[in-house]
Amino acid sequence: MQVHLKVFRYNPEMDRKPRYDRFDVQAEPTERVLDLLELVKNYNDGTLAFRRSCAHGVCGSDAVRINGRNALACKVLLKDLNTDQVTVEPLLGMRVIKDLIVDMEPFFAHYRSVMPYLVNDEPLPEDGKERLQSPQEQERFEDTTKCILCAACTTSCPSFWASENYVGPAAIVNAHRFIYDSRDRAGAERLAVLNQRMGVWACRTAFNCSEACPRDIQITRAIAEVKEALNR
C-alpha cells in the first residue's frame, strides 16, 4: 500500500517556525508507523529526528502523536489506522528539541519528586533474605508496575496542558506503585508530595491518560486510589 505520510519538522536552531513535510511511502499493512519513519530517515531525509530504542513497546522512547492520538510508533500497525493518511507529531506540552524529539527532563523531574523507589530502613529478616509479601499484597499494586515512562499519559492530560507544574499521571502511577507496596515505608512522604494543588488534586478525571497508555494501566483508578489514601 502507498501511505501519505505527514511529519512535523522543527529545528529551533535553524527554523523560524515549525512545518510539515510530506512523503509518499510504500509499505505493507502489517508494518508499523516506526517503520515508516525509519524508511524516510534511511531513504528520503536523513535529517529527520526521532527517538527509538527497543522497537518492541518496552522502552517507551518512541511515544508520539499519530493522527492526533498519543501512541508508541513501534506498536501502531498501518492496517489498524484504517487510512492511508498518517500524520506524526511530537508529544504535546513539551519543548521540541528537534522534529519528533521533545525535552523529557521536566517529565522526569516530576517522576523523581515522588521517590519512585523502595524505601525501607528496617533491619533485614533474620534469614537475611528478601522481605516477603503475599500474592494478594503484590496484586494490590501490580498494575502500576507496568509503567514504561513513555509520557503518553501525561502529555494527553488537559491538566498538564494547562500547567507544566502539574505532577502528571505518570508520576502519580509510580507513586501508587510504592504507596501500596506492603514492604515500603515512605508512603507518607509520597502522599505529602501529591497532596498539593499541582499534585493529585489537579486531576480532573478526563480519562485521557488511561486511553493513551500503551500498557493498558488503569491510570484513572490508580489516581483515585491515591486520593483515597489521602482522605483516610
- Give residue 134's pLDDT band: very low, low, confident or very high (50, 70, 90): very high
* Mean pLDDT across 194-211: 97
Q: Does pLDDT of 130 surpass 90? A: no
Do 119 and 165 lie in one domain? The reply is yes
- Give residue 232's pLDDT band: very low, low, confident or very high (50, 70, 90): confident
- Residues with Cβ < 8 Å from 228, sequence gap 6 or more? none
Burial of 30 by CB count in 10 Å (0-12 exposed, 13-18 middle, 19+ buried)?
A: exposed
Q: Does pLDDT of 125 surpass 90? A: no
Going from the C-alpha of 88 to that of each of 33, 177, 179, the distances in angstroms are: 9, 32, 36
Structure confidence by residue, pLDDT tens digits, 162-184: 999 999 999 999 999 999 999 99
Do 46 and 117 lie in one domain? The reply is no
CA proximity to 173, closest of 106, 108, 94, 111: 111
Look at residues 77, 102, 127 and tell me which one is the last residue of a structural domain: 102
Q: What is the secondary structure of 50-105 as a DSSP string?
A: ---SSSSSSS-TTEEEETTEEEETTT-BHHHHTSSEEEEEPPTTS-EEETTEE--H
Average pLDDT across the chain, whole number:
97
Start-to-end Cα distance in the chain:
56
Do 47 and 126 lie in one domain? The reply is no
**pTM surpassing 0.85?**
yes
Give me the pLDDT at residue 128, please. 79
In 3-state terms the chain splits into helix, strand, coil percentages (rounded to 5) of 35, 15, 50
Give me the pLDDT at residue 127, please. 86
Give me the pLDDT at residue 184, please. 97
- Give residue 126's pLDDT band: very low, low, confident or very high (50, 70, 90): confident
Do 189 and 117 form a contact (C-beta atoms < 8 A)? no
Domains in the chain: how many in total?
2
Residue with cell 494501566: 217
Give me the pLDDT at residue 191, please. 98
Do 42 and 55 lie in one domain? The reply is yes
**Domain hosting residue 96, numbered range:** 2-102
Q: By three-state DSSP, how is residue 203 classified?
A: coil
CATH number of the domain bearing residue 81: 3.10.20.30
Do 49 and 73 lie in one domain? The reply is yes
Range in 53-62, 123-132, 207-216 the model is least confident about: 123-132
Do 66 and 50 lie in one domain? The reply is yes
| CA–CA separation, 89 and 232 (whole Å) | 42
